[in-house]
Structure 1
């Protein structure tokens, strides 16, 4: 199943993943944008309709919680990006990633170590 979010939905999901669950007011407080209560509520209801969020009643409020794990959403997004931007080629994606001049030597070494481990090799 492909999981996809709009930018605003992803912001809201980020809050839910970090907190494990939150009311509309709590989500609104944690967002960087100053969104209206009704806007946040609409986003949460849309996410619920898509099956990405559930809720429990807490007095007069609803506490929303993620039904999709962050890692699953990331995997789905990466597959979509790989397909749409890199012609389904992990090599092209890796080339783009390691060509990024902002990566530190330490980050590159950690990536190399992960690749070596995946290949079953140990770094000397």
Structure 2
């Protein structure tokens, strides 16, 4: 699955993200199958509209299987996640990833286990960068 050329400019609403998540975790599906995987009860036509909108955004495609369409994602969850995080960092933290981490630390968003995990990630990343610079 590709990241898509215009991925940085794509914004997903909550329902669109629910539908994409249903496709990423459950695999391709018909409108009815996707509808059954969603956390919120939505009408069939609502799910169909969301899938068509996602298709217009080039995030989803479909194939005809008999008399129904089976929808599948054409972008990876990682690509969407990266795009969403980049937008969040740009819009709320002035483009500074350091400000994001500082915010998490200042607002007690991380417990001791979270801090240990973050510390391990930071040490690993620092070691990679230092190795690269040698």
Q: Normalized against structure 1, the TM-score is what? A: 0.91
Q: Matches of 1:74 and 1:19 in 2, distance apart? A: 18
1:104 CA displacement: 2.6
Higher helix share goes to which structure?
2
Give the drift of 1:32.
Answer: 1.8
Provide the residue aligned with 1:4 in structure 2. 11
State the TM-score, normalized to the length of structure 2.
0.85
Tell me, yes or no, if structure 1 residue 63 matches structure 2 residue 70. yes
Which protein, 1 or 2, shows the higher relative CO under an 8 Å CA cutoff with sep ≥ 6?
2
> Where does residue 43 of structure 1 map in the other structure?
50
Q: Following TM superposition, by how much is the alpha carbon of 1:82 offset from its aligned partner in structure 2, in angstroms?
A: 0.5
Q: Where do 5+ consecutive residues of structure 1 fail to align?
A: none
1:30-59 Cα distance to aligned partner (Å, 9 max, x none):
112111100000000110011000111111
What corresponds to 1:84 in structure 2? 91
Relative to structure 1, the CA distance from residue 102 to residue 86 in structure 2 (aligned partners, 3 Å threshold; closer, same or farther) is closer
* In 1, Cα distance between equivalents of 2:105 and 2:29: 37
Give the distance between the partners of 2:104 and 2:21, measured in 1 at CA. 23
Rounded Cα–Cα distance in structure 2 between residues aligned with 1:87 and 1:51? 29
Please point out which of 102, 109, 112 is paired with 1:105.
Answer: 112
